[in-house]
Chain A
Amino acid sequence: MAENNGTYLIRGASILGAGAEDLLISNGVIAARGAAAAAHKDAHGATVIEAAGLVALPGMVDVHTHLREPGREDAETVETGTRAAALGGFTAVHAMANSNPVADTAGVVEQVHSLGRAAGWVDVRPVGAVTVGLAGEQLAELGAMADSRAQVRMFSDDGLCVHDPVLMRRALEYVKAFDGVVAQHAQEPRLTAGAQMNEGAVSAVLGLTGWPAVAEESIIARDVLLAQHVNSRLHVCHVSTAGSVEIIRWAKERGINVTAEVTPHHLLLTDDLVRSYNPVYKVNPPLRTDADVQALRAGLADGTIDVVGTDHAPHPSEHKECEWAQAAMGMTGLETALSVVQHTMIETGLMTWADFSRVTSTAAAQIGRVTDQGRPLDAGEPANIILVDPAARWTVDPAKMATMGRNSPFAGLELPGQVVATFYKGHPTVLDGKLNTPYRESAAAAAGAS
C-alpha cells in the first residue's frame, strides 16, 4: 500500500445493513457518502476497498472493558487489550477502574488515558472509581477525574457493588455536576457471600454456593428509585436476570434516567455449562438460566437494555487452571462480541444491523459521553467505521486471539461474522481481518496539514 494521505474509498458497502453505497474517508472524517464519494476531489489516489457483501457500521464502543493496566500486566496491557478491541471492531473502550492502583485519582485515569493514546488502536476512556480504593466507604475525587485530561464521565466500582445506599445516593447526586453517570455493579454483598454460581436447579445439584437473582435485582430496584429521587443518571452494568429486565423496564416507563447493559455471554450461555466445573464459565454476574437468556435478548431487542458491554476480563491461565472455587471470575469478550451478538440477536431475527449499531455504538457512546463516536455514517462525521462480513463463519480459538487472556467461554464454538476492517479516526487499525497499524496523532496531523 502506497502512502495515500489517509484517503480510503470504500466501495459498495451495505450501510448499516441497508443499500450498498460508497464511503470516502479523508482526513479522519467521512468526506462523502454515496455517489458523491467517487466524484469527490479527494477520491483520486484514494486506496480503494471493495466492500461488496460487507456491512459498514459505526465503530463499536464498549462501555465495559478490563484492560488490567496498571497493576496486572500479566493478565492484559492497554496495548494488548486495545489490539483485541480493534480486531473485535471497537473504536472506543471504557477501561474499568479496578486496576492496581485503583483508578480513583486523576493521576491514574490520566495514565490509562495516555497509555491508550500511545497505543493508538482505539479511544481508551478511563472509568473512574466511585469510592476510594473500591472500598465502598468514601467517595473518590470524582470531580478531579472529570476535569482531568481523561475527562472521565463514567464512574464505577465494577467488580464490587456500591452497596451502601447513602454512598450510592451521594454518588448519583454528585456526578450531576459534570454530567457523569454511575455505572453500578449490582450485587448485594451479604446475599452473595461465597457465591459461586447462579442459585437454582444446577447449583443445588453441583453443591456450589448459590448467587441468587434477587441479590442483583434488589440493588437495581433500590438504585433506580435513588436515581429517580435525586434525578440523576444511572447505568446498570451487566444485567443478567429476567427480573432485572423487568425492573429496568418498569423504571424506564416511569421516566427514570437509567440505562442498562448486557454482556454477549449472558445473551448466549447458561448455568448448565457449570456442570463441567470448568472455571472458564465462572463469571460475575454468573451465567443464569435459559429463561434469563431469553428475557435479556428480548430486553435488548425492545430497548429496555440499551447496550452490549463485553465485560472483557482477561485472566492469566493459572487463575483458571484450578478448582472452581479458587478460580477468578471473568471471561474475555472483545474479539467475540460482534459474532455473539450477530448469532444471538441478528440471526434470530430479533434485531437488524441498524439495531446492532445502536446497541454496540450509538447508545454506548451516549452513555459514556463519547461525542465523536457512535455517529451516523454521513459526510462530515468522524470516520470511526467498521466493515463486517456477515457471511463469514469461524471457530473460536483463544490461542489465536490478540488479548493475553485465554479464558474465552466460546472456545470451539462456530460463530458468524468477521470484522474485515476497522477505521479509527480515519485510519485503518484493522485491514483484511488483520491488525494493520495504530493511529498516530502526529501522522494524522501531518496528513491533515499536507
Chain B
Amino acid sequence: MKHLLSTEDLSLSNAIRILDTAEEMAAVGDREVKKLPALRGRTVVNLFFEDSTRTRISFEAAAKRLSADVINFAAKGSSVSKGESLKDTAQTLAAMGADAVVIRHWASGAPHRLAATDWIDAAVINAGDGTHEHPTQALLDAFTMRRHWSKLAGSASIGADLKGMRVAIAGDVLHSRVARSNVWLLRTLGAEVTLVAPPTLLPIGVEHWPCKVSYNMDDTLAHGVDAVMMLRVQGERMNASFFPSTREYSRRWGFDDNRLRALDSLGLKDTIIMHPGPMNRGLEISSAAADSPRSTVLAQVRNGVSVRMATLYLLLSGETREPAATPGTAASNAAHSTKESN
C-alpha cells in the first residue's frame, strides 16, 4: 500500500490492518506521553484545496502524535487561470521533500492524479475529493462501528470485521463522498448496507452498488438496523429541485425525535446513530438524536485521529511500502526479521 486513495480498492486485509493498527494508536492517547517517535524526520503536507478545518486538524494531530513535521498548505486557487496548477503545487511540495501529501480537493479524482503522475513521489492520502471518496472518514466510521459491534458480541475488536451488521446510510448520497467510501468499505468488511434517500439524491447507476436502496426511512428502521448514519444535507440543494423544502426533507428523510423514539419501541436498544459532521441540527438530524446516548458523533471525531495515525504510520514507516500481507503473516515475518536484522 503506497497510497490511500479510495476504499473501493482497499483489500479486506489492508482494511483490517489499518483498523487494528488504529486500535494500538488509540491507546497512545491514554499515555503520559501522547506522542510516538515513529515518523520523526518525516514531512507530512496537508494540501487543502477546500476548507475543512475538522479534517485538517485531525490529520495534523495524527501526524504530530507520530512526531512527523507538518506543513499546512491551503491552496484555494480553484482554476488554472486564477491560481497555481495542481502540477506546479505538487512539484513544489516534492522539491520541499514531502514524504506524504494529505490532499483535500473539490475535484473528484485529484488525489488519483497526484498518485498516478510523476509530479511527486510522496505517499498520497485522500482526505476527501469532490463527490468521490473520503476513505479515512469511512475507516473511522468502520472503526467506531467495529468497537460497538465487538462489544455487543463480547469479543475483541482486533482482527474483527463487521459481518452481519446492518447499517443504514441516509441522506444526500448523490453528492456524498462519505457515503461512497462507506458503501465500499462496509461491503468489504461484511456489513449489510441500505441507502435511504430521496430518489433525486441517489446517483444513476446506484443499482450496481453492493447495497440495498430504500426511499423510506421508517421501513428501513422497522426492518431492523444496528447503525444509522445520517449524511449532511445542504439546504441549497432545495434550490436545484432535489427536494421541495427543508421541512419536507427533514420530515421524510431526517432522523427526528419520532424516529429516535421509534428505535426504542422497535426494540432496537443497541442501535447507534452516526454523523460525519458538521451536523445540520433540525435538518437531517434532531438535537435530541445528536445528543442521545446512541450518538457516536464525538467518538467518531476521537477515532478519526487514531485511524489517521494508523494510515500515516502504515504508509510512511515502511521502506518498501510493499502490498500488505494478512496481519498474521505480516506479524510473524516482522518478528523473524527483528532477530535477523537486529
Q: Does a CB–CB distance below 8 Å link A and B in the complex?
A: yes
Q: Is B326 among interface residues, defined by CB-CB distance under 8 A?
A: no
Instruction: From A205, A277, A318, give the contact of B116 (CB < 8 A).
Output: A277
| Inter-chain contact B86/A322, CB cutoff 8 Å | yes
**With A and B bound together, what is the CA distance between A201 and B87 in angstroms?**
29
CB closest residue in chain A, given B105: A323
Q: Is B67 among interface residues, defined by CB-CB distance under 8 A?
A: no
Q: A277-B116, A318-B80, A321-B85 are in contact. Are A208 and B109 (CB under 8 A)?
A: yes
| Inter-chain contact A204/B208, CB cutoff 8 Å | yes
| Inter-chain contact B205/A202, CB cutoff 8 Å | yes
A263-290 CB mask vs B (1 if < 8 Å, else 0) is: 0000000000000111000000000000
Within 8 A of B (CB), among A17-66: none
| Inter-chain contact A207/B112, CB cutoff 8 Å | no
Q: Is A438 among interface residues, defined by CB-CB distance under 8 A?
A: no
Residue from the set A212, A278, A318, A323 with the largest chain B CB neighbour count within 10 Å? A323
Kindly list chain A residues whose C-beta atoms are within 8 Å of the C-beta of B133.
207
B120-144 CB mask vs A (1 if < 8 Å, else 0) is: 0000000001111100000000000
**With A and B bound together, what is the CA distance between A81 and B105 in angstroms?**
36
Q: A318-B80, A322-B80 are in contact. Are A206 and B109 (CB under 8 A)?
A: yes
Instruction: From B80, B110, B129, B205, give the contact of A203 (CB < 8 A).
Output: B205
| Inter-chain contact B107/A204, CB cutoff 8 Å | no
Kindly list chain B residues whose C-beta atoms are within 8 Å of the C-beta of A324.
107-110, 113
**With A and B bound together, what is the CA distance between A209 and B8 in angstroms?**
19
Task: Please count how many residues in chain A sit with their CB below 8 Å of the partner chain's CB atoms.
Answer: 25
Q: A207-B177, A277-B116, A323-B107 are in contact. Are A201 and B208 (CB under 8 A)?
A: yes
| Inter-chain contact A276/B112, CB cutoff 8 Å | yes
| Inter-chain contact A325/B108, CB cutoff 8 Å | yes
| Inter-chain contact A276/B204, CB cutoff 8 Å | no
Q: A210-B203, A278-B116 are in contact. Are A205 and B8 (CB under 8 A)?
A: yes
Q: Is A326 among interface residues, defined by CB-CB distance under 8 A?
A: yes
Q: Is B320 among interface residues, defined by CB-CB distance under 8 A?
A: no
Q: A200-B205, A212-B204 are in contact. Are A277 and B80 (CB under 8 A)?
A: no
| Inter-chain contact B87/A204, CB cutoff 8 Å | no
CB closest residue in chain A, given B173: A204
Expressed in whole angstroms, the minimum distance between the Cβ of A276 and any Cβ of chain B is: 7
**With A and B bound together, what is the CA distance between A336 and B113 in angstroms?**
26
Q: Is B3 among interface residues, defined by CB-CB distance under 8 A?
A: no
Q: Is A199 among interface residues, defined by CB-CB distance under 8 A?
A: yes
Q: Is B308 among interface residues, defined by CB-CB distance under 8 A?
A: no
A368-385 CB mask vs B (1 if < 8 Å, else 0) is: 000000000000000000
Expressed in whole angstroms, the minimum distance between the Cβ of B90 and any Cβ of chain A is: 10
**With A and B bound together, what is the CA distance between A201 and B177 in angstroms?**
16
Task: Please count how many residues in chain B sit with their CB below 8 Å of the partner chain's CB atoms.
Answer: 29
Kindly list chain A residues whose C-beta atoms are within 8 Å of the C-beta of B86.
322-323, 326
Expressed in whole angstroms, the minimum distance between the Cβ of A328 and any Cβ of chain B is: 10
Kindly list chain B residues whose C-beta atoms are within 8 Å of the C-beta of A323.
86, 105, 107, 109-110, 113
**With A and B bound together, what is the CA distance between A207 and B192 in angstroms?**
22
| Inter-chain contact B85/A277, CB cutoff 8 Å | no
Q: A208-B108, A208-B109 are in contact. Are A199 and B205 (CB under 8 A)?
A: yes
Instruction: From B87, B109, B206, give the contact of A277 (CB < 8 A).
Output: B109
CB closest residue in chain B, given A326: B80
Kindly list chain B residues whose C-beta atoms are within 8 Å of the C-beta of A206.
108-109, 132
Expressed in whole angstroms, the minimum distance between the Cβ of A61 and any Cβ of chain B is: 35
Kindly list chain B residues whose C-beta atoms are within 8 Å of the C-beta of A318.
80, 85, 87
CB closest residue in chain A, given B183: A205
Instruction: From A202, A204, A207, A322, give the contact of B206 (CB < 8 A).
Output: A204
CB closest residue in chain A, given B81: A326
Kindly list chain B residues whose C-beta atoms are within 8 Å of the C-beta of A209.
131
Within 8 A of A (CB), among B201-231: 203-206, 208-209
Kindly list chain A residues whose C-beta atoms are within 8 Å of the C-beta of B107.
323-326
CB closest residue in chain B, given A321: B87
Kindly list chain B residues whose C-beta atoms are within 8 Å of the C-beta of A210.
203-204
A183-208 CB mask vs B (1 if < 8 Å, else 0) is: 00000000000001001111111111
Within 8 A of B (CB), among A195-242: 196, 199-210, 212
CB closest residue in chain B, given A319: B80
| Inter-chain contact A277/B108, CB cutoff 8 Å | yes
| Inter-chain contact A203/B85, CB cutoff 8 Å | no
CB closest residue in chain A, given B177: A207
8 A–B contacts, CB within 8 A, in A order:
A204-B203, A207-B130, A208-B132, A278-B116, A319-B80, A321-B87, A321-B117, A322-B87
